[in-house]
């Protein structure tokens, strides 16, 4: 099994004051709901005891470089916390999958899945929120549910995963479904949408459908 929670990209990180969550209340609310459902969390019996799951939201556009992809993302190894505050989020200011590089600032290092979040945002300006959770139920039922799935040989947080996400957007209906499974990342599921409510509802609806089919 791949080691969960390990940053695999080259990170240029600058310590900075946190962004206020005042404009991201829906995102943080959904993060709390996902934690309550154990889709985000930390369990000594799962994934080597590392925290799992992360959420992000695109920042409003600004004249700064890379602003189209700048996004707020939950910090590395915050999965155990039932509620996140300002200091638990970082801002990714540049994302370069081809060179396996992330630039970020904030009071905490960004999630190890930041590269995947960034490549999802690259697929459409309409995608404003990305939720990455761990759901054994959805992951094991992905084929039955007809979900797009990244190749089992591809690890999370790598340039190869970025290429796989691009492939899904070219070759499958992932854009319409708003969700995909990470075949090479045990239990890894990604949902996205224009809003946190859209992405979160897609995720919970898929989980309900999955449980109904069991």
The half-sphere exposure of 53 on its side-chain side, counting CA atoms within 13 A, is 29
- The pTM (predicted TM-score) of the whole model is 0.92
- Which has the closest alpha carbon to 100: 116, 79, 82, 76? 116
What domains can you pick out in the chain, each with its CATH number? Answer: 10-213 (3.40.225.10)
pLDDT digits (tens, 9 = 90+) for 126-154: 999 999 999 999 999 999 999 999 999 98
- Which has the closest alpha carbon to 4: 181, 155, 190, 130? 155
Share of the chain above pLDDT 70, in %: 91
38 vs 78: CA distance, rounded Å:
13
pLDDT digits (tens, 9 = 90+) for 6-62: 556 789 999 999 999 999 999 999 999 999 999 999 988 777 777 899 999 999 865
65 vs 151: CA distance, rounded Å:
32
19 vs 74: CA distance, rounded Å:
11
How sure is the predictor about 157, in pLDDT bands with cuts at 50, 70 and 90?
confident
The answer to whether 186 and 1 are in contact (CB under 8 A) is yes
Structure tokens at 122: 């690259």
75 vs 148: CA distance, rounded Å:
27
Find the Cα–Cα–Cα–Cα dihedral 70, 197, 46, 141, rounded to 10°.
-110
The answer to whether 100 and 116 are in contact (CB under 8 A) is no
């Amino acid at each position: 099994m791949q080691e969960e929670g390990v940053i695999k990209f080259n990170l240029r990180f600058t310590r900075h004051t946190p962004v206020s969550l005042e404009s991201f209340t829906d995102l943080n609310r959904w993060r709390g709901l996902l934690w309550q459902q154990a889709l985000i969390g930390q369990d000594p019996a799962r994934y080597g005891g590392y925290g799992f799951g992360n959420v992000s939201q695109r920042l409003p556009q600004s004249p700064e470089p890379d602003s189209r992809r700048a996004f707020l993302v939950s910090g590395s190894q915050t999965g155990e916390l039932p509620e996140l505050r300002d200091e638990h989020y970082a801002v990714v200011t540049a994302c370069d999958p081809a060179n396996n590089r992330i630039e970020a600032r904030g009071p905490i290092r960004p999630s190890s899945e930041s590269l995947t979040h960034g490549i999802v945002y690259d697929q459409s300006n309409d995608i404003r929120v990305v939720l990455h959770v761990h759901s054994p139920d959805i992951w094991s039922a992905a084929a039955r549910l007809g979900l797009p799935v990244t190749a089992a040989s591809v690890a999370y947080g790598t340039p190869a995963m970025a290429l796989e996400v691009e492939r899904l957007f070219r070759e499958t209906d992932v854009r319409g479904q708003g969700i995909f499974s990470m075949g090479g990342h045990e239990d890894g599921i990604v949902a996205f949408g224009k809003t946190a409510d859209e992405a979160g509802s897609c995720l919970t609806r898929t989980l309900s459908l999955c449980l109904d089919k069991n």
